Structures are given as structure tokens and as C-alpha cells.
Amino acid sequence: MSAHETPKHSMAQRVRTFANGIGARLLASVLAASAVITFGVAGIEVWSNYRADLAELQADIDRIGRGSLDPIALSLWNYDDAQLRLQLDGIRQRPYVAAVEVRERAADGSDGALRARVGSDGVEGRRIERLPLTYRRDGENADLGTLLIEVDAAALRKRSVERASSILLTQGGIVLLIILVLMLMARQIVTRHLSALATAAERFDVRDELGSFRIRPRSKGPGDEIDRVIDALEKMRSSLQTAYRDLADANTELQADIAARLRAEAAADHLANHDALTNLPNRRLLFQRLAHELAVADRSGTQGAMMFIDLDHFKTLNDARGHSIGDAVLMEVARRLRQCLREIDLVARLGGDEFVAVLPMLGELRERATSNALVAAEKLRAAVAEPIVVRGEVFRLSASIGVALFPDDATSPENLIKHADTAMYQAKTEGRNCISFFQRDLLEATEQRHALETDLRQALVENTLDVAYQPLIDGLGTLRGAEALVRWNHPTRGPVSPVQFIPLCEESGLIIPLGDWVMRHVLRQVRDWRREGALHPQQYISVNISPRQFRQQGFEDWLIGLLHEFEVPPSQLVLEITEGVVLGDIDSAILRMQSLRARGVRFYIDDFGTGYSSMAYLKRLPADGLKIDKGFVRDLGTDANDAAIVDAILAMGRHFGLTVVAEGVETEDQARYLLERSCDLLQGYHLGRPVEAKRFASDFLSRSIRAV
């Protein structure tokens, strides 16, 4: 670039710098604001003056009407045209009056012929004021004509525009002068220092120890904004130079952080693919491994096995003893499962108490693979069955194991797990603590079970379940109460047996909402019967409570709240519980029962004699009654062992002062046998079948029946 081009380039650069700088924006902002204010003020003043001129013009016309109409009317009456013209000429001399004329009144009342006119002819922009001319004669007013005054409104507006221009020029000049002064002051005080700071920032080098942002001497005292900016930049410069000097140490630390991050990523990857509690592979890693093993099995022509392992009754243990105990048990189970298998096998945890094992390469023939899988499954089942000691307590578990072979039984990870789960469910139905291999017909049964569970959930939502009541009769044939039994009449399946859907509710967790629904339904019905006087105070309704519902936190307060809500005395409610309610944590169960009994709720032990009944166990349990299982009642006349058991239960009831109820009484002989041995209450088809509430009221509540 030549020496002649340098000044031009420098000037253009300065212009661009100014155009992009604060000064240009400040100038534009001040100009815009000043223009708006100036034009606004000028407009207001012009409009005000224009309105004042119009008001003055109107006042002048009013004065003409008061002072000139009568003389003009007299001249018009006397036909004195000379005097009339002189009078009109006087009006014409007023400001903004362009012309004045007088017109005589026509016979039809309109303006008639022109009598006199002074002024120029009409042009655009004129406004006409009309004043009537009357002459009073003989006490009456004579209408002579009209005085027309043409006002030059255009001249009035022109004057206003001239005033506006004058105001704008004057004020605009003053404002421009003020702006220039302000801009010079702003440059002197602010912008030139900012430009200098920008130049210093562009030249700043953190390695230059002598560099500085101090573009002017520091003011005394706290200083202005520029001083504070310079102080901040100087502090920043010092900090940056300190940081630069420490860069080597920071770089070393960074390398260490990178190494730690790599270790953390490896740990995170491990956590993403492994169960946090047992450190076994989780579902994600399981599916990856399954996809690989299925592909290998398909190429090699060998069979492998997928085992679905579910711990029997673990939920009961976990709820009764707490999650910390449950977690410790799961960790020990996971360790044992891993030790029982080969290095090439995989054990994973799906969640909760569900584990899976993948055993590849068990043989080319299905029979060989099945035999090897059975041996491995038996080892797993035996390992789980060994006593587990946690915090000084001994726990014994069992496992239900479902086995599916691959690739014969499934060619995808999803279906393989589904089929192994189906086989495991079959093991559960066969009594638990056993091994079941997948069969195609099992899949259909599982799908039907899932469909039934879906329908049951819908029935709870739509309130399509019902409750039947079976009478409880004493030895005198008096109705003492009834047991509430839930019933489900499916719209397409027809009546579904409780034996079929109650276990399904227990396994799926639906037992809690089902129990809530039944309790509310029963208490509402008891309230209605009480209001109708059908249910006597000495009569009661018994309701079965599942172990899971009984062990729920806050069960006592929930039940007492429902009794208050439906205004049912606790004495008219009996809770039937099985011995499974107290298994695992009898102390907590006893405390809960005692809390409810103190408020008036009674307890019967249902299916007594089928579990782990013992004298010591019964002595501790705060129960009010026992129910003899119908399995013992059914063969009273033919099986001496059943009769002995029934006699023993009746003796235990008398010894502990408990009410004894015999279920399943279907014949007169059974009823007579029980009553002869002082059984307190009988229940069964011989005395009355379970019926819906309305029929129970009409058949039983409204009359007494005899047992025999």
C-alpha cells in the first residue's frame, strides 16, 4: 500500500469505528429522542394556536352577529344599498373574512336573490357562516334574509403551518446545538477512554509483565466508572498472569483428572451394565449377551438354556424383616448362584427377587441339553435351599426355576425370557421349590393369565365386582353374622372362581386395591342394614384380609378411618386372617392386632390347622376365634384323623376361650357332629349358600333358621 492510500484507509477505518461505536449509537439515540420531543412539542403548540385562532374567529363572528345584524337589516328594509355596502365592507375588513353577502328571503323560506356582495369570489377551503336578518315592526319580527360570511380557513391553516415551521427551525437549531455539545462532552469524558481501553485490550499479552491498562492517571478517591473498569482490568491482568504462571502445574493436575475421569467412566459403564446391589449383570448386559449366545447357538448348532429363577415367598420375608435383611439375603443368593455355574455361564438379576442364568453350549441334541440343564438347575435350587444367616438370624428359602432351551424354544432375547418366565410360573403353580421346562401349551396358559389379570384390573376400575354373604349360624339356629365373599361375574367368561383370581391378585399386587374395594363395599352395606334396622348390634360381618394388606404401613389407621366414615361400630366387624399374616415377624403382627382389638375389632384365624399351628403359637396370638378348615369337616364321618383334628381344634378353642367356626358344613350329619361337641358357629351349604346382599337380607336377616 502506498503512502497516499494510507490516510484514506485510516480515515475509512475511523469512520467505520465511529459508526460501530457507542458515540454513533448515542448520537442516533439522542437525535431520535430530540426529534420526537421537538416534533411533539411543536405539534402541540401549533394545534393549540390553531384552536385558539378558530376560537377567536368564532368570537369575532359572534360579535358581528350582536353588533351588525340590526343595522344591516334596517338598511335592507329601507332599500339603502349604499349604506348596506358600507356595512358589508366593514365586515370584510376583519381578518380571515374573504367575502360578505346579503341574500333576501324567498317566498318558500330559502335563500333568495343576491342583494349585495363584497369580497372575492368563492374558492376551495372557505367556510360559510350564516346569520339571519330580521326587522322588528309593529311588535313583530319580519324575516328579511340571510347574512353570509365566507371565512378563509385555508389562510388560517397556512398561518399555523408557518408558525410550526418557525418553531421547528428555532427549537431544532437549539436542540442540535445541545446535542453537539453533549457529544463533545461524551467523547471527552467517556468514548475516547473506551477506545483507548479497546486498543490496550487488543495489544494485551498475558506474557508481557510490563503491559498495563492504565491509560490515564488514577483519579483521587473512589474514582469514576472508567477508573473502576481500569481497576477491574488490571486485576484481571494480574489474575491471568498468575494463572499463566501456574499453567504447568494445572496441566499436570489436568492429566491426573483425565486419568480419574477414565476410571470413573469405566466405573459408570460397569454400573450401567451391572446390578448395584449384587454386582451381577443387569437386564441391559443380559440382553447383549443373549443376542450373542443366540447367534452362536444358531451357527454352531448347539443348544443352550435360559433359567428364570424366582425366590419363593421372598416378598413376605422382605416386608416382615425389612429391606436391609432382604438385601443381605439377595446378595448371598447371588453369590451362591454365581459359584454354582461355569465361567462361560452368565447369572444376571432382573430386579427384586428374580434372577436369570444363561448356560450356553449344553449339547447338540435337545435331550442332552435338557439333561445338562436339569443337573445345573438342581444345583442352583439346592444352593438356594441352604440356610442363610444374616445378623444372627437363620433364613430358609426355596426357588422356583423355569427353563427354556435356545434356539429351539426361542430365537430372540425377549421371547426366550418370556418363555423361561412362563415355565417358572408353571413351577409356582406346581407347588413351588421345583423346576419346570417350557412347553408350548404353557404359553397359552400364561397369556390367558395375563388377560385375566388385565380384565380384573378393569373390573376394579369399573366397579363390576360383587360381594356375597354366607350366614354364620349358632347351635340354636340363630343368625350370628355372615362372611363376606368377593364374587366376579365376567361379562364373557361368566363367573370366575375366587380360587382362580385371588392367587392372581396376590402375585400381581392387586390384592391391596381389591381388599380396599371389598372393605369399603362391606362397610357401606353394613351401614345401610343398620339404618334399615335389619342388622342387629350383636350380629357381625367377617372379612378376609390378605397378609400383604395387613402388613401395609398405616393399616390400623386406615381401617379405623373407614369404620368412622361409614359409621360402623368396630364390634360388628371381624377380620379373618391366615397364619401366613404373622409368619416371619410375629411380634409386629401381634402389636398390630392388639392395637385394633383395643379399638373393638375382632380377629378370627382362618383355615386353622392347615399351617404351623401350635399351642405356644396360639397362646401368643391375640385372636378371638378359630375357623376349622373345610378340608377337615368334609370327611368327618369317614376319616378318623380328620375327626381327631376337629376335636383337637374344638378343645383348643375351649381352652383359650375362643369362638370356633366350622366351615364347609354341607350335611346334617356334619352339623350334628359339630354341635354335639359344642362348636360355636357353623358355616356351609347345609345352612345357606353365599348370596348377594339383597337376598341375604330377605332370606336370613329377616328371619331365623335352625341348623338341624
Are 407 and 373 within 8 A, CB to CB? no
Distance, in Å, from the CA atom of 576 to the CA atom of 593, rounded to the nearest integer, reads 11
Cα dihedral 433, 438, 442, 447 in deg (nearest 10): 100
Cα dihedral 653, 658, 664, 667 in deg (nearest 10): 70
Task: Output the pLDDT for position 610.
Answer: 66
Give pLDDT tens digits for 57-89. 777 777 777 767 778 877 877 777 788 888 888
Residue 510: what are its φ and ψ, rounded to 5°?
-70, -10
Q: Is it true that the peptide bond before 537 is cis, omega within 30 degrees of 0?
A: no
The owner of cell 370366575 is 496
Distance, in Å, from the CA atom of 439 to the CA atom of 305, rounded to the nearest integer, reads 14
Task: Output the pLDDT for position 378.
Answer: 95
**Distances in whole angstroms, Cα of residue 35 to Cα of each of 21, 23, 330, 345, 655:** 21, 18, 82, 86, 109
Q: List the chain residues with pLDDT less than 50.
A: 1-5, 704-708
- What cell does 266 get? 469405566
Residue 258: what are its φ and ψ, rounded to 5°?
-65, -40
- What cell does 455 get? 380384565
- What cell does 30 get? 439522542
| DSSP letters spanning 206-262 | TT-TT-----SPPPSTT--HHHHHHHHHHHHHHHHHHHHHTHHHHHHHHHHHHHHHH
Question: Which amino acid is it at 626?
Answer: L
- How many DSSP H helices and E strands does the chain contain? 24, 21
Answer whether 0.75 is exceeded by the pTM. Answer: no
In the chain, the N- to C-terminal Cα span, in Å, equals: 129
Listed residue (391, 387, 277, 386) closest to 327, CA to CA: 277
Distance, in Å, from the CA atom of 153 to the CA atom of 54, rounded to the nearest integer, reads 9
Distance, in Å, from the CA atom of 548 to the CA atom of 516, rounded to the nearest integer, reads 12
Task: Output the pLDDT for position 4.
Answer: 47
CATH architecture of 276-438: 2-Layer Sandwich (3.30)
Question: Which amino acid is it at 184?
Answer: L
- What cell does 312 get? 419363593
Q: Specify the pairing of strand 388-390 against strand 126-137.
A: unpaired
The owner of cell 349604506 is 83
CA angle 470, 525, 548 (to 5 degrees): 75
According to CATH, where is 3.30.70.270 located in the chain? 276-438
- What cell does 88 get? 358589508
- What cell does 492 get? 364373557
According to CATH, where is 3.20.20.450 located in the chain? 469-486+513-701
- What cell does 612 get? 404351623
- What cell does 3 get? 503512502
Element (H, E) at 11: helix 5-19
Distance, in Å, from the CA atom of 90 to the CA atom of 118, rounded to the nearest integer, reads 10
Task: Output the pLDDT for position 563.
Answer: 96
**Furthest C-alpha separation in the chain:** 157
Distance, in Å, from the CA atom of 516 to the CA atom of 561, rounded to the nearest integer, reads 12
| DSSP letters spanning 523-540 | HHHHHHHHHHT-S-TT-E
Give the length of the chain: 708
DSSP label of 60: H
Fold of 469-486+513-701: TIM Barrel (3.20.20)
Element (H, E) at 355: strand 354-363
Task: Output the pLDDT for position 122.
Answer: 60
